[in-house]
A and B are shown apart, each in its own frame.
Chain A
Amino acid sequence: MLRDVTFGQYYNATSFVHKMDSRVKILLSVVYMVGVFFVHSYVGFAWLTCFLMIAIGASQVPLKSIFKSLRGILFLLLFSAVLNVFFVKEGTLLVEWWIFKIHDQGLIDAGKLMLRLTLLVCGASLLTLTTTPVDLTHAIERLLKPLSWIGIPVHIAALIMSLTLSFIPSIIEETDRIIRAQKARSADFDTGGLIKRAKAFVPILIPLIISSIRRAEELAFAMNSRCYEGSKKHTQMKVMRMGWRDLVGSLITVVFFAAIFTLYAFADNAWLGANLPWLLF
């Protein structure tokens, strides 16, 4: 049962976005996320949605998989929307009932917040859906390389991350095995109150921790045997190359976000406010 859990949410395909350099993808995602926070008009949101749709289209990831990632933040979405609806005290009063007052600005803010969070999460999940955890680790290591010049052990951090990734399947398997072994010894995980159930997990956790420590020791032996010496000079086999896809992707992103930042810069422009109010809202 636990074995079916796959780590990360990589969607296997060979699309335009999948083939882009993962470093570029991370950087573009950062630009996108910053952009999401700069947008304040509905035109801007439409513009962002348009960009996201193009990106999703180019990634061949089905919309369903993208929206799946929203389930995790559903509660957060609703909670923050409700807060906005009831506690924003600007604009015209629409409804007043007992202690609740709903203003039109509250509704607008709630709508924008929900849109913003949705766009943010969809964008982030597009990155993880089209990039394997291994590639992400490699990309983060290369991108953070400048930090190693000031003595931050980026390589070690990246190695820890990649080791964690490669050991997750083994540890899940181990957990599964321990659960079955304890069940065979008539351990009971499914009945009783919350505390009793929590206590029932102790016989799983302790063997799991012990075996993980043993694993770590064996791994350390294996790594040392293969000439690993921490921060010593090392090279990398994996070469990351940027191609035409990265150029095209970056160009499209730059065009879209240049528009958003321009819109943001002219938010207080009197002429635009007078002649094209819908653009600024």
Chain B
Amino acid sequence: MNVIEVQNASYEYKTYNDDGTTGTLVAVDDVSFEIKKGSFVALVGHNGSGKSTLAKMLNGLHKPKKGQVLVNGLSTAVQSNIFEIRKNVGMVFQNPDNQMVASIVEEDVAFGPENLAIPQPEIVQRVAWALEQVNMSQYAKRSPHKLSGGQKQRIAIAGALAIKPQVLVLDESTAMLDPQGRKEVLAVAKKLNADGMTVVLITHFMEEVLDADNVIVMKRGKIVAQGTPMEIFSQQSLVEDAFLRVPRTVELAQRLSQAGWSVDASCTDAKALGGQLCQLLQKN
């Protein structure tokens, strides 16, 4: 069953040139795809490929200029649907500092449920539950400003979870984090997906899409490829054409196997590849 259906959706920005004229920049151009319930979808693309704009169309922050976006069958173009749609599509953005509405962690997480006018005792439960999901319970009373980037982003995820959405959209949520923070956030996303949450991960780090069920590659506002990670990685020219890079492990495995070595070309795990290489070295 599809939670989100994007049908021929387009979005354009108005641009202001230096000479005073205005123009339009088509950020998302006639895009169609579906997101299945419980799936892990990765939306990848280079800077300016329109992936972030597309993400903001999934909960009606941007309304399609053409085509439509349906969440559980409700169109984001209809203003009266928006509240219901945002209840079902939680979103976490890039900069952790710009998503915090309160100066105490638990109050920040409570912001969503408060807006839904949920009774106070249930808010307390939801906040505790959400913080537990992202493993941040011990920081409930702290100020978010003293936490690391990864921790702040996990709190932002908790803030989205407290609304109890069906879909969690991570709009480049790992882009500003250090490798450790990225690992933390990804681990949380994978765990939530294992528990049944539909996750849409927007990123330009190809390493992060390895575990996705479906990878959508975008270039200049259009979808240029869609498929499982291995299907995408095996078309190296296509990936490079979208200004992206196949993960190093995958690239190495592919090149070795192309060069005639008996290495599993679809290997994604660095350790497994290392094992295969060791075996090869022993043989020769």
Interface residues of B in 94-116 (CB under 8 A from A): 94-95, 97-104, 106-107, 110-116
Give A203-240 as 1s and 0s: 1 = Cβ < 8 Å from B's Cβ atoms.
Answer: 00000000000010011011111111100111111110
Knowing that A219-B98, A227-B116, A235-B114 are A-B contacts, what are 8 other residue pairs whose CB atoms are under 8 Å apart, sorted by A's residue number?
A: A218-B93, A219-B99, A223-B101, A225-B93, A226-B163, A229-B83, A236-B114, A237-B113
Interface assignment of B279: CB less than 8 Å from any CB of chain A:
no
Q: Given the interface contacts A234-B117, A237-B107, A237-B124, does A162 sit within 8 Å of B102 by beta carbon?
A: yes
A-binding segment of B18-26, B84-92, B187-195, B232-240: B84-92
Closest chain B CB from A169 CB (angstroms)? 5
30 A–B pairs (Cβ distance < 8 Å), ordered by A: A134-B104, A134-B107, A165-B103, A166-B101, A166-B102, A166-B103, A215-B97, A218-B93, A218-B94, A219-B98, A219-B99, A221-B91, A222-B99, A222-B101, A222-B156, A223-B111, A225-B89, A225-B91, A226-B86, A226-B90, A226-B111, A226-B163, A227-B112, A227-B116, A228-B111, A234-B116, A236-B114, A236-B120, A237-B120, A237-B124
Interface assignment of A170: CB less than 8 Å from any CB of chain B:
yes
Please measure, in the bound complex, the distance between the C-alpha atom of A225 and the C-alpha atom of B100, giving whole angstroms: 12
Whether A235 contacts B117 by the Cβ 8 Å rule is yes
Whether B103 contacts A219 by the Cβ 8 Å rule is no
Whether B114 contacts A234 by the Cβ 8 Å rule is yes
A162 in complex: contacting residue of B103, B117, B160, CB < 8 Å: B103
Interface assignment of B270: CB less than 8 Å from any CB of chain A:
no
Contacts of B104 in A (CB 8 A): 134
Closest chain A CB from B62 CB (angstroms)? 10
Whether A235 contacts B118 by the Cβ 8 Å rule is yes
Please measure, in the bound complex, the distance between the C-alpha atom of A162 and the C-alpha atom of B102, giving whole angstroms: 6
Give B166-181 as 1s and 0s: 1 = Cβ < 8 Å from A's Cβ atoms.
Answer: 0000000000000000
Which residue of chain B has the shortest Cβ distance to A230 in the bound complex? B115
Please measure, in the bound complex, the distance between the C-alpha atom of A238 and the C-alpha atom of B106, giving whole angstroms: 10
Interface assignment of B38: CB less than 8 Å from any CB of chain A:
no
Contacts of A226 in B (CB 8 A): 86, 90, 101, 111-112, 115, 159-160, 163
Whether A227 contacts B91 by the Cβ 8 Å rule is no
Interface assignment of A163: CB less than 8 Å from any CB of chain B:
yes
Closest chain B CB from A226 CB (angstroms)? 4
Whether B145 contacts A238 by the Cβ 8 Å rule is no
Interface assignment of B260: CB less than 8 Å from any CB of chain A:
no
Q: Given the interface contacts A218-B99, A221-B93, A227-B163, does A170 sit within 8 Å of B114 by beta carbon?
A: no
Please measure, in the bound complex, the distance between the C-alpha atom of A238 and the C-alpha atom of B101, giving whole angstroms: 15
Interface assignment of B39: CB less than 8 Å from any CB of chain A:
no
Please measure, in the bound complex, the distance between the C-alpha atom of A134 and the C-alpha atom of B86, giving whole angstroms: 27
A227 in complex: contacting residue of B83, B94, B107, B156, CB < 8 Å: B83
Please measure, in the bound complex, the distance between the C-alpha atom of A4 and the C-alpha atom of B119, giving whole angstroms: 39
Contacts of A224 in B (CB 8 A): 61, 86
Question: Which 6 residue pairs are nearest across A and B when measured between Cβ atoms?
Answer: A237-B110, A166-B103, A222-B99, A218-B98, A226-B112, A225-B91
Whether B98 contacts A215 by the Cβ 8 Å rule is yes
Interface assignment of B123: CB less than 8 Å from any CB of chain A:
yes
Contacts of B59 in A (CB 8 A): 225
Interface assignment of B182: CB less than 8 Å from any CB of chain A:
no
Please measure, in the bound complex, the distance between the C-alpha atom of A221 and the C-alpha atom of B98, giving whole angstroms: 10
Contacts of B103 in A (CB 8 A): 133-134, 162, 165-166
Which residue of chain A has the shortest Cβ distance to B103 in the bound complex? A166
Q: Given the interface contacts A225-B90, A225-B91, A226-B163, does A162 sit within 8 Å of B114 by beta carbon?
A: no
Q: Given the interface contacts A227-B112, A228-B115, does A218 sit within 8 Å of B95 by beta carbon?
A: yes
Please measure, in the bound complex, the distance between the C-alpha atom of A234 and the C-alpha atom of B98, giving whole angstroms: 22
Interface assignment of B244: CB less than 8 Å from any CB of chain A:
no
Contacts of A232 in B (CB 8 A): 115, 117
Whether A227 contacts B115 by the Cβ 8 Å rule is yes
Contacts of A222 in B (CB 8 A): 91, 93, 98-99, 101, 156
Please measure, in the bound complex, the distance between the C-alpha atom of A198 and the C-alpha atom of B96, giving whole angstroms: 33
Which residue of chain B has the shortest Cβ distance to A135 in the bound complex? B104
Contacts of A215 in B (CB 8 A): 95, 97-98
Closest chain B CB from A211 CB (angstroms)? 10
Whether B101 contacts A162 by the Cβ 8 Å rule is yes
Interface assignment of B245: CB less than 8 Å from any CB of chain A:
no
Whether B160 contacts A225 by the Cβ 8 Å rule is yes
